[in-house]
Structure 1
Amino acid sequence: MFGLGKSSGKSWLGAGRFTALVALALALASPAQAQDTRLAVGASFSILSDIVKAVGGDRVDVATLVGPDQDTHVYEPTPADVAKISGTKLFFVNGLGFEGWLPRLVKASQYPGKLITVTKGLKPHTMVDEGRTVDDPHMFQDPERVKVMVDNIAAALSQADPAGAAYYSERAKSYRGALDDLITWANKQIAPIPPARRVVLTSHDAFGYLGQRFGIKFLAPEGVSTESEASAKDVANLIRVIRRTGIRAVFMENISNPRLVQRIARDARVKVDGKLYSDALSQNPEATTYLQLFQHNIRAIAAAMKENR
């Protein structure tokens, strides 16, 4: 049945009614889609949507499914979402299991366009999550890997819209340059901090690629997905680590329930340093684009790690 998510354990809508609503939504959406001359594309979540918009510029119209401050891991598609992507020529996704609902959405919509996995060509890290070895899908936390994603986006747009190929290529080049500047800037923020102090606690294990790029160790009570449940043993171990090592860099995330991190911080007798943006942009001005999101995270992490003992 369409729309099942691990977190809820039940579907919000029966299969028959869902099919009827999909048909109605498609019928209502068709006239508006036909009027737009820009290349209609879709993106699975807000960070990816922002990058597609940066490359596509005013030649594309991007429909986003999982919006700012929303959690892609536990998202459940709706009939309106099916209608939203049905009129697009391309649908950009992260892949690597990040969008666990994607097969159901594609099947329900009978998607006629082309599915573009932007992480194609990148080798993922593997990690153990709840006893299973899985790929870490959060490559967008590493700007160096995002450059490859940008190239994949530009190539797909150029194939779908050959007349705009030079335009997409130029915008992709400009965005890669911005990412290079971002990496240089981030290295300067992290470099003064002794390696032994580069430790951060967050809600779920979303920052592994960032940690590898800049030499930061991230600890998290939850696994690669926010659907993962932290065991009492893991939570107790984290509290002991914080007390023993003097970690002060403790953060919530914009997509996660803050209670678990707040409990760990309270029991470890440390304060929560604020919020990091992990799997989504935000309506807050500090993270309305990917470049802003990354700058905010690095500033917050660097400042907090300086307080580690």
Structure 2
Amino acid sequence: MSLSTSRRLALLTSASLALLAGCGSSSDSADAKSAPARVAVVASTNVWGDIARRVGGDRVDVTSVIGDPDQDPHSYEADPQNQLALSKAKVVVENGGGYDDFVDRMLKSGHNDSAEVINAVEVSGRTAPKGGELNEHVWYDFPTVAKVADRISAALAEADPGDAPAFGKNAAAFKAKLTPLEAKEARIKKAHGGEGVAITEPVPLYMTEASGLVNRTPAQFSEAIEEGDDVSPRVLQESLAVFGGKKVKVLVYNEQTSSPQTEKAEAAARAAGVPVVPVTETLPKGKDYLGWMTGNVDALASALAK
């Protein structure tokens, strides 16, 4: 083979490879254009993250800032990974009500002014009772959760209009599964309405109130525990006294904010034969929102029936 022939073959081979590479690039580009990127969603906790995932399906990438069931959400400190996720988010779901103010601070420091921010407390329409404090734990309030699911659907539809019908369908399916939970609460209310309940902090109050139960715990106790503060000996004794004389039928105990004083309340309840129902603020490992809440409501019903 002559040198000129070899050179011509080499040039033809190079041209063919370039053409194939060009065809591959065109195909890849077409595929990329036909499959829009998933919507980046950041939720303050894995509770709202799971709900966003139910609504968004496989068209969303969800990052939950707080997902460790052993972590107290009240003491969260920002980290670079979550800061980066928030800076790129198209939709942000925060709880609001002072529960997760770190989200707003991180959005500001990440210069993300374009994200659609859904504040669950604002969506709920809940306000503080006269002379009291707002209970920000609105994910225990099923009507609020339904409203937030609709808001997530609308925000995702704005970010990805082509998948809007799927988001709406997913939200409707999710809300339909909340209805049996509200029916369970209604049955508890019919059987046990007006009976007393004790709490270690306000986390489960929307669930217990919807079930017709009356909170007998002094507000000074549950509010102090929520803030990580100790209560005075007088308030502690008043709180322990509710377990005597059949004033309460059940103690609902937040496992994520236990302290020596809440442990005393648990011990007093057990000593008086009062059932203890443990709850958490974030999703336990291996649970989704609907399964978790079904377990919570069923546990409350079982304890009251004892």
Q: TM-score by structure 2 length?
A: 0.77
RMSD between aligned alpha carbons? 2.6
Aligned to 2:22: none
**Number of residue equivalences:** 265
Displacement of 1:189 after TM fit?
4.4
Q: 1:215 aligns with which of 212, 217, 240?
A: 212
Displacement of 1:140 after TM fit?
1.3
Q: What residue identity is the alignment partner of 1:200?
A: V
Aligned to 2:54: 54
Q: Which shows bigger deviation, 41-50 or 244-253?
A: 244-253
Structure 2 CA distance for aligned equivalents of residues 240 and 208 of structure 1: 20
Aligned to 2:240: 239
Alpha carbons 1:223, 1:230 under 8 Å: kept: no
Structure 2 CA distance for aligned equivalents of residues 225 and 154 of structure 1: 35
Alpha carbons 2:55, 2:170 under 8 Å: kept: yes
Closer, same or farther: CA 112–224 of 1 in aligned 2, 3 Å = farther
Aligned partner of residue 222 in structure 1, secondary structure: helix
Displacement of 1:171 after TM fit?
0.6
Displacement of 1:160 after TM fit?
1.0
Displacement of 1:36 after TM fit?
9.1
Aligned to 2:28: none
Q: What residue identity is the alignment partner of 2:44?
A: S
Equivalent runs, 1:37-76 vs 2, <5 Å: 37-69=37-69, 70-76=71-77
Alpha carbons 1:118, 1:153 under 8 Å: kept: no
Structure 2 CA distance for aligned equivalents of residues 57 and 256 of structure 1: 32
Equivalent runs, 1:275-294 vs 2, <5 Å: 275-283=277-285, 285=286, 288-294=287-293
Alpha carbons 1:49, 1:62 under 8 Å: kept: yes
Structure 2 CA distance for aligned equivalents of residues 110 and 148 of structure 1: 28
Alpha carbons 1:205, 1:224 under 8 Å: kept: no
Closer, same or farther: CA 78–51 of 1 in aligned 2, 3 Å = same
Aligned to 1:262: 263
Structure (1 or 2) with the larger CA radius of gyration? 2
Equivalent runs, 1:1-309 vs 2, <5 Å: 37-69=37-69, 70-114=71-115, 115-127=117-129, 133-193=132-192, 195-197=193-195, 199-220=196-217, 221-223=221-223, 226-232=226-232, 233-257=234-258, 259-267=260-268, 269-270=271-272, 273-283=275-285, 285=286, 288-307=287-306
Alpha carbons 1:189, 1:302 under 8 Å: kept: yes
Closer, same or farther: CA 178–299 of 1 in aligned 2, 3 Å = same
Structure 2 CA distance for aligned equivalents of residues 116 and 200 of structure 1: 32
Q: Which shows bigger deviation, 156-165 or 68-77?
A: 68-77
Aligned partner of residue 52 in structure 1, secondary structure: helix
Task: Please list every run of 5 or more consecutive structure 2 residues that lacks an aligned counterpart in the other structure.
Answer: 1-34
Structure 1 CA distance for aligned equivalents of residues 109 and 213 of structure 2: 41
Alpha carbons 2:39, 2:60 under 8 Å: kept: yes
Displacement of 1:159 after TM fit?
0.8
Displacement of 1:156 after TM fit?
0.7
Aligned partner of residue 244 in structure 1, secondary structure: coil
Structure 2 CA distance for aligned equivalents of residues 258 and 36 of structure 1: 48
Q: Deviations over 1:121-165 (max 9, x none)?
A: 43213158xxx8532211211112211111111111111111111
Q: What residue identity is the alignment partner of 1:157?
A: L
Displacement of 1:228 after TM fit?
4.4
Q: Deviations over 1:4-33 (max 9, x none)?
A: xxxxxxxxxxxxxxxxxxxxxxxxxxxxxx
Q: TM-score by structure 1 length?
A: 0.77
**Percent of residue pairs bearing the same amino acid type:** 22
Q: What residue identity is the alignment partner of 2:47?
A: I
Structure 1 CA distance for aligned equivalents of residues 254 and 108 of structure 2: 32
Structure 2 CA distance for aligned equivalents of residues 37 and 161 of structure 1: 9
Alpha carbons 2:41, 2:91 under 8 Å: kept: yes
Aligned partner of residue 124 in structure 2, secondary structure: coil
Displacement of 1:176 after TM fit?
1.1
Alpha carbons 2:248, 2:274 under 8 Å: kept: no
Alpha carbons 1:91, 1:113 under 8 Å: kept: no
Aligned partner of residue 135 in structure 1, secondary structure: coil
Alpha carbons 2:185, 2:210 under 8 Å: kept: no
Structure 2 CA distance for aligned equivalents of residues 135 and 97 of structure 1: 9
Higher helix share: 2
Displacement of 1:120 after TM fit?
3.4
